[in-house]
Amino acid sequence: MIRIEGLHHQIAGAEVLRGIDLTLPEGGVTALIGPNGAGKSTLLSLIARLIRVQRGRIEIGGHVVGQTRDRDLARVVAVLAQGAHVSARLRVAELVGFGRYPWHLGRPGAADHAAVDAALERFDLTGLRHRFLDELSGGQRQRAFVAMAFAQDTPYLLLDEPLNNLDIAAARDLMTLVRGLADEAGRTVVIVLHDINYATAFADRLVVLKQGQVVAQGAPGEVVSAPLLADVFGTAARVEQIDGRPVVLV
């Protein structure tokens, strides 16, 4: 479970998060949605202890962020930050191998190699394991980054907009794999998504942020509506029900 209480955050004097209280149950996929600048990445970065908690409390899997050693938290939560960059002259298997660091602390053993092989297999990267990252398509590269986070073997996975720049096939493939992480591998996934239709199609629950506050949360069918889009995004998009779920017509 992720439990967030009274979370406030300021950047350069501006209040970016304004009193977040949020409980996310174990398992499943939760999508954070909301307009640009709403605070989604900041919230994810705070949960992932990439930035320091200023005010409030975050607990993840029973560990309080800020009071737990980094190396212990690294076995609980893996994060793929927005626009993650590493050296292009890195091979796929080496990148995925980075995910094992919290377990082997620099001395990988047989279990780590097996975990890397399993991650490559799950993300359909086995045949590409010796390729350099700059020899991959955007979709393959994103799969490699998510595979690295998966290889970290943590119960919680935080992914910040992994669909950026992906075409429809690559985006659907990646979201299907992410869905599998929850359904088959039992991981709890929190993912920032800009495309609401991907969020409603693949997430179990949505958390909607606007100006640093949670303004709605629940199952996609309970949350996504034309009035919500008008209020949160300031746009008059239509919402239709197709196959029992809301679809935003753009």
Ligand X SMILES: Nc1ncnc2c1ncn2[C@@H]1O[C@H](COP(=O)(O)OP(=O)(O)OP(=O)(O)O)[C@@H](O)[C@H]1O
Give the binding site for ligand X (CB under 6 A): 11-12, 16, 34, 36-42
Q: How far is the CB of 102 from ligand X (least distance, A)?
A: 25
Nearer to ligand X, 41 or 140 (CB): 41
Token pair listed for 224: 């996504």
Q: How far is the CB of 41 from ligand X (least distance, A)?
A: 3
**Residue corresponding to tokens 């300021």:** 10
Max CA pair span of the chain: 55
Q: How far is the CB of 172 from ligand X (least distance, A)?
A: 21
Contact 201, 245 (CB under 8 A): yes
Alpha-carbon distance of 80 to 77, in angstroms, equals 10
Nearer to ligand X, 28 or 35 (CB): 35
CA dihedral for 65, 77, 86, 46, sign (positive or negative):
negative
Q: How far is the CB of 122 from ligand X (least distance, A)?
A: 27
Nearer to ligand X, 11 or 114 (CB): 11
Nearer to ligand X, 126 or 164 (CB): 164
Token pair listed for 72: 């212990």
Q: How far is the CB of 113 from ligand X (least distance, A)?
A: 36
Residues in the chain: 250
Alpha-carbon distance of 129 to 147, in angstroms, equals 11
**Residue corresponding to tokens 């995004």:** 233
Which DSSP symbol is given to 33? E
Q: How far is the CB of 68 from ligand X (least distance, A)?
A: 23
Beta bridge partners of 207: 32, 217
List all residues 6 or more positions away from 184 whose beta carbon is below 8 Å from its beta carbon.
none
Nearer to ligand X, 14 or 110 (CB): 14
Alpha-carbon distance of 14 to 9, in angstroms, equals 8
Nearer to ligand X, 24 or 95 (CB): 24
